[in-house]
Amino acid sequence: MAKIVILTGAGISAESGLGTFRDKDGLWTRYDLNEVATPQGFARNPGLVHDFYNARRANAAVAHPNAAHHALARLQAALPGQVQIITQNVDDLHEQAGSTDVWHMHGRLARARCASCNHRWDAPAVMAVQHPCPACTAPKTRPDIVWFGEYPFHMDDIEQALSQADLFVAIGTSGNVYPAAGFVQMANLAGADSLELNLEPSQTITDFAQARHGPASNIVPAWVEEILSGR
């Protein structure tokens, strides 16, 4: 079981050009999350929700991993089976950098799901609700994304990993969204050490034993080199 459990958020992808949510001119300052990231919003106006995710899917398609994603992939490769990455992000920059077995707890832009039968398939670049489900043909296509009020994916695996972690590291997340923001407390209860790597102190900074602040592309590779050189 992983000794190092890492949670990433939008901040690790910021330097790859993908917007964050709550920074200045972040996504939630330009879209009302109740309209584009809730089941009620999708029921009201599926076209608006698909426009929002189609735009983000197009941005993600031309984004590249940055030094922070590459550093985590190096850490995973150097410590086989010891490093579990959990991400709140719906992009695939961790995978593009070479990370494996990444748990996308809020879903992925790259997948589509049928709101009627729950069948999943690879997302087309541009998705629309009337696309018939390949399994049941219902015109109920949605992004395979976890919206507010919906249950995140991988929660059992996550709780198991946190209960056995030696170290929990949160990277590029503001600590606003639960249950992800509560993972540090679960790690603390399990007796793990905890480290926040973020541009600025998060909402949950007081729960972390250690913290380093700065751009992820600087502080994450520096931290990984320390771990790998055993300092």
Between residue 8 and residue 47, which ones bind ligand BV8 under the rule CB under 6 A?
A: 9-11, 14-15, 20-23, 26, 37
Among 97, 165, 216, 224, binds ligand BV8 (CB under 6 A): 216
Distance (Å, whole) CA 101 – CA 154: 12
Per CB under 6 A, contacts with ligand BV8 among 53-82 are none
196 three-state secondary structure: strand
Distance between CA atoms of residues 56 and 68, nearest Å: 21
Considering the complex, state which of residue 117 and residue 148 has its C-beta at the smaller distance from ligand BV8.
148
**Closer residue to ligand BV8, CB minimum distance, 25 or 178:** 178
Restricting to residues 173-202, name those near ligand BV8 by CB under 6 A.
173-174, 176-179, 198-200, 202
**Dist CA 132 CA 114 (whole Å):** 9
Min dist CB 216 to ligand BV8, Å, is 4
Tokens 């690879």 map to which residue?
122
Nearer to ligand BV8, 3 or 22 (CB): 22
Q: Which residues are catalytic?
A: 106
Smallest gap, in angstroms, from Cβ of residue 6 to ligand BV8? 13
Interface with ligand BV8 in residues 91-110 (CB under 6 A) = 106
**Interface with ligand BV8, residue 88, by CB under 6 A:** yes
Residue 6 structure tokens = 């890492």
Strands, E assignment, 16-155: 83-87, 103-104, 107-114, 120-122, 141-145
Would you call 37 exposed, middle or buried from its count of C-beta atoms within 10 A (0-12, 13-18, 19+)? buried
Q: Bridge-partner residues for 8, per DSSP?
A: 87, 171
Radius of gyration of the chain (CA): 18
Residue 180 Cβ vs ligand BV8, minimum distance, rounded to whole Å: 6
CA 205 to each of CA 24, 26, 74: distance values in angstroms, whole numbers, following the listed order = 20, 21, 26
Residues 111-150 that bind ligand BV8 (CB under 6 A): 145-150
H-helix or E-strand spanning residue 42 = helix 39-44
Span near ligand BV8 by CB under 6 A; candidates 7-15, 39-47, 69-77, 112-120: 7-15
Residues that bind ligand BV8 (CB under 6 A): 9-11, 14-15, 20-23, 26, 37, 88-90, 106, 145-152, 155, 172-174, 176-179, 198-200, 202, 215-216
